[in-house]
Structure 1
Amino acid sequence: MDKPRWLPATGTPEDFPPASEALHEPNGLLAVGGRLDPEWLLAAYVRGLFPWYEAGQPILWWSPDPRAVLIPEELHVSRRLQRTMRTSSTRMSADTDFVAVIEACAARRHYTDDTWITPQMRDAYITMHGLGWAHSFEAWGDDELIGGLYGLAIGNVFFGESMFSRRTDASKIAFVNSVAFLRDRGFELIDCQVWSHHLKTLGARTIPRENFLELLDTLCSADRAPGPWSADYERFAQSTL
């Protein structure tokens, strides 16, 4: 394919082309258009796709090759971060303030005026959270939200979307604790989408898209009902004290 496939908003998720047809440049761009309702989002993720675009652009669907992933057992916590976590008073929770987390992730950073979490994206993932598919992990300091992340859970795969930090290492602390929780619940793969040095320091690696899609075929079919994680995380946190 020499250009991305156009998806009419009147169509269905079955209109998604195979991820293998994604462009090489820009890496992973597969389709344009469609919708961000739950049916489309769930169909996209199990196909190895995710939406990523800026304000003023149509919905863009991506499936980069290679794909950045983290196997929960391969999580790497540096000695410095271990020391920070031992002395930190940071309190963790899950699904207690999804809206605040996604709004913090959407906030413009000091190094750019751009944000890919448009109001349309924000509303779509808040809807997914209400349905029990999207989840947030929150890091608290003195009852203030200082870091966190959110993503989607389908079967035994957690699809990470974005994270933020308002204090040094707050997002890393949130990430490490979220991985521990996911591993405890039987998740076998965390999708990190695009490789970065930051993710590498935490143990992420890249795998060919073909291998990633094979993993999704197996792991996304695991029997796991959607629903809130707040009580489950509280029990998990108590058990690890």
Structure 2
Amino acid sequence: MTRAIPWLSSNSSTFPALSTALEEPNGLLAFGDDLTPQRIIQAYQQGIFPWFSDGEPVMWWSPNPRGIINISELKVNKTLQKVLNRETFTVTLNKNYNQVIELCADAPFRKENTWIVNPMISAYKTLHSQGSSHSIEVWYNEHLVGGLYGVAVNGYFSGESMFYRKSNASKVALVYLAQLLKSINIEFIDCQMLNPFLADMGCIEVSRQQFITQQIAAKAIIPPANFWQARPLTLD
């Protein structure tokens, strides 16, 4: 049995109920042509995110199950721990967001099928300028060699993408993000969908309902006013 997927235009005020998302492809909830920052934040507030490729309409997703990392269960293997102990890299917050998202889009392992297309890059750069999207940068000899970016709604952080140009650099970014969030009692990072890299770092799958329950708790946490200000980061 086929079912029509709703189309969201700029005049559409709400998303469909999450329970109406498809099982195959997992989590497809709606199509649309509205990728304004306002629409994107509205989506993240409900645990929805955009994901599409060049030549496609904007697609909105709420997968079930959902990939998350419980920060207390983040996995740091021996090799990564040695890298952290040696302080091989320096790490910053929101120092060069624009370069991070561009390098994520250009990461060689994505090949030609990246979803970080020009409309997404433009929209998320605007989100960053408005204080809703943030980056972690990993530096080696003053060169940007790894990082990640995502969207924050109060204490809820949804990771979007990461890149590395030196071994372990993206893992280092994730460790520093986890400590930053833990410092204000945020308990998990939304990874959206599980993949082998994230599984190695402790990502698990939970039901949509469990995810929404955890998201509601995270959104109730209000970070300090200066929490996302650009600055160097260190590990405890």
TM-score range, shorter chain: over 0.9
Q: After alignment, is 196-205 or 129-138 more displaced?
A: 196-205
TM-score (norm 2): 0.93
Q: Distance in 1 between matches of 2:226 and 2:192?
A: 23
Listed as ranges, the gaps of 5+ residues in structure 1 are: none
Structure 2 residue runs without a partner (length 5+): none
**For residues 199 and 110 of structure 1, do their structure 2 counterparts lie closer, same or farther at Cα, with a shift above 3 Å needed?**
closer
Q: From the superposition, tell whether residues 111 and 124 of structure 1 become closer, same or farther in structure 2 (CA, over 3 Å).
A: closer
Matching of residues 13-24 of structure 1 within 5 Å = 14=14, 16-24=15-23
In the superposition, relative to structure 1, how do residues 108 and 170 fare at CA in structure 2: closer, same or farther (>3 Å)? closer
Change (3 A) 1:225 1:42: farther
Q: What is the Cα deviation at residue 227 of structure 1?
A: 6.4
Query: Which AA in structure 2 matches 1:84?
Result: V
Query: Relative to structure 1, is the Cα distance of residues 227 and 30 closer, same or farther in structure 2, using a 3 angstrom cutoff?
Result: farther
Q: Secondary structure at the match of 1:102?
A: helix
What count of residue pairs does the alignment treat as equivalent?
A: 235
Partners of 2:225 and 2:58 in 1: CA distance: 25
TM-score, normalisation: structure 1: 0.91
Please name the residue that 1:159 is paired with: 158
* CA–CA distance in structure 1, aligned partners of residues 26 and 86 of structure 2: 41
After superposition, give the CA deviation of every residue in 1:70-92 in whole Å (9 maximum; x if it has no partner).
11111110112111222242000
CA distance in structure 1 between the partners assigned to 2:171 and 2:91 by the alignment: 12
Q: Percent of counterpart pairs with the same letter?
A: 36
Distance 1:69 1:151 in 2: 13
CA shift in 2, pair 1:96/1:63, >3 Å? same
SS at match of 2:112: coil
| Shift in CA distance, 179/110, structure 1 to aligned 2, threshold 3 Å | closer
Say yes or no: does 1:179 pair with 2:205: no
In the other structure, the counterpart of 1:128 is 127
8 A contact 1:154–1:224 mirrored in 2: no
Backbone CA RMSD of aligned residues: 1.9
Does the CA contact (< 8 Å) of 2:186 and 2:221 recur in 1?
no
> Does the alignment pair 1:9 with 2:25?
no
